[in-house]
Chain A
Amino acid sequence: MPQETVTLRQEIFSLKHVDKGYHKGGEEDIQVLDDVNLTLHEGEIVGLLGRSGSGKSTLLRIIAGLIQASAGEVNYCGQPLNGPAEGVAMVFQTFALFPWLTVLQNVEAGLEALGVEPKERRRRALAAIDLIGLDGFENAYPRELSGGMRQRVGFARGLVVNPTLLLMDEPFSALDVLTAETLRTDLLDLWNQKQLPIKSILIVTHNIEEAVFMCDRIMVLSSNPGRVVAEIKVPFAHPRNRLDPVFRKMVDDIYALMTQRRSADTLHKVQLEIGSPLTEVSTNLMAGLMEALAAAPYNGRADLPEIGSKLLLEVDDLFPVTETLEHLGFVELRDGDIELTAAGKLFADYGTQERKVLFAEHLLRHIPLAARIRRVLQERPGQRAPRLRFEQELEDSLSDSAAEETLDTVISWGRYAEIFSYNDHTETFSMEDVEGAQ
């Protein structure tokens, strides 16, 4: 039974040309969201899908009225939004339950804030607790509950205030796979049986399958800065079957979309510069992925979603490692597939020492920052350089935290490759103990 199309339903929320930037030490802004347009209608579940750094949580908090957009229009039920609006309830990734309140008190807290009479408060809280399957736990403290039960309290607390819109910030990502799935289906059942008072749900996630499984519409966000790069309607009826070929096809397409986005504008992978941000990826993970790719059944080439779920890598882990390997010239990414290059195959075959030599060669050739550090060290008389020197250089183009992560990343790769050494106490790079340095 295909769902009715959502034309001309009542508009609940609309964002027009929303920007969000953070000021950094009087210098230029760090742009988090760039020209985001988004409309929420009655009766739909909308997903905000993006990787870390896509500003999806920031967007959610703008809608919740917790932070203000730097520019653009935010309208709630036709009115401009001013601060946290009534009728917008939020469910948190970390549950955010007050540990000193019982389940019942946590659920009642929002009603108390609205000034609901104690008797009515109790009745409504108990009803919400029943609905969400928590009866019997009313007097338990959050610490006595499992993660899944805690998030049910989070749902009950959100639902009890009869919100128009329910915002969910990665609500299932802190839970184990089975618990998360149970909670998803329970929530969808309640939603589809129209037992929930809410008119619309907005869910933030980095899990592509979760988005396709739950949402009627998916907004895909790009990273740094966050932009809406695609809007995908999911036409499947509930309950959805994850193994259905059309379901798989859509998941594959979104994977391809999220990995291949760059080549659409430039037809080439982006060349890294000295100031390009690097994401911390361990060399063990890189080696492990290359080994897995080289071995059967993949033999050098794999479907990204497939190998991701096989290796239990979520998008937020999988994409950074595949992209790093791509930058280093060990793999190529095409149409949601990943393929080892000749160098990548060699790496997988090599032993420990040979791997390090090969990695060092690729690191110096493809990661300009690594090459720069090495060159500076070789040019200096003492072959030492303080971390600060490079950090300041990076901070010209990156935020403080991104500059720090980038430098930490290149340090851990450089240590593995033995192209320089680094002393964390004195915060200096040097060529000490590096073979062939002098």
Chain B
Amino acid sequence: MTTVIRPFIPATAKRLLPNRWDLIAFPLILGFLLFATTGIQGTWAPISALQTEPISLDAANLPEYALRTTLRMLAAMIASIVFTLVYGTLAAKSRRAGQLLVPILDILQSVPVLGYISFTVTFFLALFPGRVLGAEFAAIFAIFTSQAWNMTFSFYQSLRTVPNDLKEVSQNLRLSGWQKFWKLEVPFSMPGMIWNMMMSMSGGWFFVVASEAITVGDKTVTLPGVGSYLAMAISNKDLTAVGWVILTMTVVIVIYDQFLFRPLVAWADKFRLEDTMSQAAPESWVLNLIQRTRIIQQLLRPFGKLLKKLARMRLNIALPQSIHTESHSSVSRGLDIAWGGFMVLLCGYVSWKLYSFISSEVGLGETIRVVGLGFITLVRVTVLIALASIIWVPLGVLIGLRPRLAETIQPIAQFLAAFPANLLFPVFVVFIVHFKLNPDIWLSPLIVLGTQWYILFNVVAGASAFPNDFREAATNFHIKGWQWWKQVMLPGIFPYYITGAITASGGAWNASIVSEMVSWGDDKLAAHGLGAYIAQTTAAGDFPKILLGICVMSLFVVLFNRLLWRPLYAIAENKLRLN
């Protein structure tokens, strides 16, 4: 055996030589940095710039608008992550804070995202008078509210379920709270958080489009972006422009998925707790590229080192040691009572404030009318989710049972779920206006236009994961037809279906605000419903009524979740678990 002796290159020098992966990855990253800086510069312009530079329908501007929109998404995501880490930790670590924070989060989740905008626009414009930044913050905050809650819930739940032996190990190693947070808790919750980030992001596109061009009373905000381009196209009745914006969004979502989320998911795979390798580990060509490059790895290393150093610090945030709590139990009980009393008082005060604000303008009759509108929207949501289920469940099963087909359909369904359906609204509206159709019926499908795909891709996932042994047993015992659906397949996919349907129905309530009232140029179509009510009062800047509408809708969503989805979810969790 002859070994060819090669020229000796010291290991340190070897790592500095660029390799061919650098050639591809480097321009990509530089380009991204360049675009980011130009995008951010715009936000420091005075707000008058928005009026002097109106949105242009020239398609050549779309890349820049898309960039601005994407940056807003990114900023909201960073805000969401910070919020998640802080809020989730507080809720999980301190029992008393948890008593307050968890229910708050639960409600926040149920409040329609577009409902926040009416208030936050006013608030942020006042905070940064005369700067575009205020409007930017308002839009970012709207996206934030659509992203943060489920991420926080996921993180909170992960923190609560860190395995005991891992906790004991970190105690045994005498890690400080700060070290434990970065070494154990954050990594442990990473897969769940990234999954929820993806879900949030795919929901977020819908709201970014809706929040860039918004009118609250006499204040109109038009931020350069895909959403305001769309608004402009609608008011100018320009279908070609609508086509361009749809195309742009498609490209943006694909890029976002390939460059941000694929790599993240593939990277987060290493945090999975199971020791066994998964059948198919997630793959990302971008991540492979970055991991194979030398120069980029070198450039990233200082950041990595800094982060590691930060995580290694022994910062000790004084949290009460669990061992000592027993001795102070009487003091602790007293504190509990005081805390409980404080919360009741706070709750009462806020409710009273809310009531007096709303009742200053709105009487009982109006409230009853709004509740009635709520029922109309409830019927609309229920019927459409049911219709979507009837269509997509059987199709999803048939697709999921064919692995090849499922592999092709799954990314498409996920893309469609992420695609902001409001971009497609004009197409429908043109149709409805042209044929003079009844808006109460024909605007309804818009509610599930974007969210029905959650049902499809969850059912496909469920059917793909259906154990082969069960299928073989069914075939062996000649179980066919309706019996097969009833006893074999439907119970098997039910947990997946419920997950999809919950997301879909949540999205549908939100979508009702933009889809029950639409326009095309001067043609305005409105269906009867709570969504249209909120949209109309927002446009009029009638705050007590907006608040009433939001309260009623939140109430409907909370009750809908409690009375329908929670029990169904419990059944899915307890009775229909496989294995």
Tell me the residues in window 357-410 of chain B with beta carbons closer than 8 Å to chain A beta carbons.
none
Interchain CB contact (< 8 A) of A113 among B7, B288, B483, B579 = B483
Instruction: Say yes or no for B34: interface residue by CB 8 A criterion.
Output: no
Closest residue on chain A to residue B494 by CB atoms: A100
- Evaluate contact between A113 and B575: CB separation under 8 angstroms: no
- Evaluate contact between A379 and B478: CB separation under 8 angstroms: no
* Cα-based distance from A379 to B5 in the complex (angstroms): 7
- Evaluate contact between B472 and A90: CB separation under 8 angstroms: yes
Instruction: Say yes or no for B123: interface residue by CB 8 A criterion.
Output: no
Q: Is the interface of A mostly helix, strand, loop or mixed?
A: loop
Interchain CB contact (< 8 A) of B480 among A94, A113, A378 = A113
- Evaluate contact between A109 and B487: CB separation under 8 angstroms: yes
* Cα-based distance from A110 to B472 in the complex (angstroms): 13
- Evaluate contact between B476 and A112: CB separation under 8 angstroms: no
* Cα-based distance from A276 to B60 in the complex (angstroms): 58
Closest residue on chain A to residue B484 by CB atoms: A113
- Evaluate contact between A90 and B476: CB separation under 8 angstroms: yes
Q: Interface 1/0s, chain A 238-258, versus B by CB < 8 A? A: 000000000000000000000
- Evaluate contact between A66 and B575: CB separation under 8 angstroms: no
* Cα-based distance from A70 to B467 in the complex (angstroms): 25
Q: Interface 1/0s, chain A 372-390, versus B by CB < 8 A? A: 0001001111100000000
Contact residues in B for A141 (Cβ distance below 8 Å)? 575
Instruction: Say yes or no for B354: interface residue by CB 8 A criterion.
Output: no
* Cα-based distance from A13 to B348 in the complex (angstroms): 78
Instruction: Say yes or no for A235: interface residue by CB 8 A criterion.
Output: no
Q: Interface 1/0s, chain A 133-168, versus B by CB < 8 A? A: 000000001010000000000000100010000000
Interchain CB contact (< 8 A) of B9 among A88, A381, A425 = A381
- Evaluate contact between A375 and B292: CB separation under 8 angstroms: no
* Cα-based distance from A117 to B291 in the complex (angstroms): 64
Closest residue on chain A to residue B578 by CB atoms: A99
Instruction: Say yes or no for B252: interface residue by CB 8 A criterion.
Output: no
* Cα-based distance from A66 to B478 in the complex (angstroms): 11
Instruction: Say yes or no for A350: interface residue by CB 8 A criterion.
Output: no
Contact residues in B for A427 (Cβ distance below 8 Å)? 288
- Evaluate contact between A432 and B476: CB separation under 8 angstroms: no
Closest residue on chain A to residue B470 by CB atoms: A96
Contact residues in B for A234 (Cβ distance below 8 Å)? none
- Evaluate contact between B469 and A98: CB separation under 8 angstroms: no
Interchain CB contact (< 8 A) of B467 among A96, A157, A426 = A96
Q: Interface 1/0s, chain A 194-224, versus B by CB < 8 A? A: 0000000000000000000000000000000
- Evaluate contact between B479 and A109: CB separation under 8 angstroms: yes
Tell me the residues in window 126-167 of chain B with beta carbons closer than 8 Å to chain A beta carbons.
none
- Evaluate contact between A99 and B475: CB separation under 8 angstroms: no
* Cα-based distance from A375 to B6 in the complex (angstroms): 13
Assuming the A-B contacts A98-B487, A99-B576, are A61 and B270 also in contact, with contact meaning beta carbons closer than 8 angstroms in the complex? no
Tell me the residues in window 471-503 of chain B with beta carbons closer than 8 Å to chain A beta carbons.
472-473, 475-480, 483, 487-488, 491-492
Assuming the A-B contacts A113-B479, A375-B3, A438-B8, are A96 and B575 also in contact, with contact meaning beta carbons closer than 8 angstroms in the complex? no
Contact residues in B for A331 (Cβ distance below 8 Å)? none
* Cα-based distance from A279 to B356 in the complex (angstroms): 75
- Evaluate contact between A109 and B576: CB separation under 8 angstroms: no
- Evaluate contact between B472 and A113: CB separation under 8 angstroms: no
- Evaluate contact between A426 and B291: CB separation under 8 angstroms: yes
Tell me the residues in window 75-107 of chain A with beta carbons closer than 8 Å to chain B beta carbons.
84, 86, 88-90, 92, 94, 96, 98-101, 105
Closest residue on chain B to residue A86 by CB atoms: B478
Interchain CB contact (< 8 A) of B473 among A92, A378, A426 = A92
Interchain CB contact (< 8 A) of B483 among A64, A89, A112 = A112
Closest residue on chain B to residue A423 by CB atoms: B291
Contact residues in A for B472 (Cβ distance below 8 Å)? 61, 64, 66, 90, 92, 96
Between B6, B467, B492, B578, the greatest number of chain A beta carbons within 10 A of the residue's beta carbon is seen for B6
Q: Interface 1/0s, chain B 9-26, versus A by CB < 8 A? A: 101001000000000000
- Evaluate contact between B8 and A84: CB separation under 8 angstroms: no
Instruction: Say yes or no for B441: interface residue by CB 8 A criterion.
Output: no
Interchain CB contact (< 8 A) of B491 among A90, A100, A428, A438 = A100
Instruction: Say yes or no for B1: interface residue by CB 8 A criterion.
Output: yes
Instruction: Say yes or no for A71: interface residue by CB 8 A criterion.
Output: no
Contact residues in B for A92 (Cβ distance below 8 Å)? 469, 472-473
Closest residue on chain B to residue A92 by CB atoms: B469
Instruction: Say yes or no for A295: interface residue by CB 8 A criterion.
Output: no
Interchain CB contact (< 8 A) of A426 among B8, B292, B483, B491 = B292
Instruction: Say yes or no for A313: interface residue by CB 8 A criterion.
Output: no
Closest residue on chain A to residue B491 by CB atoms: A100
- Evaluate contact between B477 and A110: CB separation under 8 angstroms: yes
Assuming the A-B contacts A90-B472, A381-B9, are A100 and B575 also in contact, with contact meaning beta carbons closer than 8 angstroms in the complex? yes
Assuming the A-B contacts A66-B472, A96-B469, A96-B472, are A157 and B477 also in contact, with contact meaning beta carbons closer than 8 angstroms in the complex? yes
- Evaluate contact between B475 and A66: CB separation under 8 angstroms: yes
Assuming the A-B contacts A426-B291, A426-B292, A438-B8, are A94 and B3 also in contact, with contact meaning beta carbons closer than 8 angstroms in the complex? no
* Cα-based distance from A428 to B193 in the complex (angstroms): 29
- Evaluate contact between B479 and A110: CB separation under 8 angstroms: yes
- Evaluate contact between B487 and A101: CB separation under 8 angstroms: yes
Closest residue on chain B to residue A114 by CB atoms: B478
Assuming the A-B contacts A100-B575, A382-B14, are A66 and B476 also in contact, with contact meaning beta carbons closer than 8 angstroms in the complex? yes
In whole Å, how far is A284's beta carbon from the nearest beta carbon of chain B? 15
Between A99, A380, A428, the greatest number of chain B beta carbons within 10 A of the residue's beta carbon is seen for A99
- Evaluate contact between A89 and B270: CB separation under 8 angstroms: no
Instruction: Say yes or no for B566: interface residue by CB 8 A criterion.
Output: no
Contact residues in B for A426 (Cβ distance below 8 Å)? 288, 291-292
Instruction: Say yes or no for B350: interface residue by CB 8 A criterion.
Output: no
In whole Å, how far is B80's beta carbon from the nearest beta carbon of chain A? 27
- Evaluate contact between B4 and A425: CB separation under 8 angstroms: no
Instruction: Say yes or no for B577: interface residue by CB 8 A criterion.
Output: yes
In whole Å, how far is A383's beta carbon from the nearest beta carbon of chain B? 8
In whole Å, how far is B254's beta carbon from the nearest beta carbon of chain A? 25
* Cα-based distance from A192 to B526 in the complex (angstroms): 78
- Evaluate contact between B478 and A113: CB separation under 8 angstroms: yes
Closest residue on chain B to residue A99 by CB atoms: B578
Assuming the A-B contacts A99-B576, A100-B576, A438-B8, are A88 and B476 also in contact, with contact meaning beta carbons closer than 8 angstroms in the complex? yes
Closest residue on chain A to residue B292 by CB atoms: A426
In whole Å, how far is A110's beta carbon from the nearest beta carbon of chain B? 4
Contact residues in A for B288 (Cβ distance below 8 Å)? 426-427
Contact residues in B for A109 (Cβ distance below 8 Å)? 477, 479, 483, 487
* Cα-based distance from A112 to B487 in the complex (angstroms): 11
* Cα-based distance from A113 to B476 in the complex (angstroms): 10
Closest residue on chain A to residue B277 by CB atoms: A408
Interchain CB contact (< 8 A) of A425 among B14, B291, B479, B577 = B291
Q: Interface 1/0s, chain A 395-438, versus B by CB < 8 A? A: 00000000000000000000000000000011110001000001
In whole Å, how far is B346's beta carbon from the nearest beta carbon of chain A? 44
Tell me the residues in window 275-303 of chain B with beta carbons closer than 8 Å to chain A beta carbons.
288, 291-292
Contact residues in B for A143 (Cβ distance below 8 Å)? 577
* Cα-based distance from A438 to B14 in the complex (angstroms): 13
Binding site for A on B (CB under 8 A): 1, 3-4, 6-9, 11, 14, 270, 288, 291-292, 467, 469-470, 472-473, 475-480, 483, 487-488, 491-492, 575-579
6 interchain pairs, CB-CB under 8 A = A86-B478, A92-B469, A99-B576, A101-B487, A379-B3, A428-B292
* 4 closest Cβ pairs, A-B complex: A110-B477, A96-B469, A100-B491, A96-B473
Q: A96-B467, A109-B479 are in contact. List 8 more A-B contacts (CB 8 A).
A: A84-B476, A88-B476, A92-B469, A94-B467, A101-B487, A112-B479, A112-B487, A381-B6
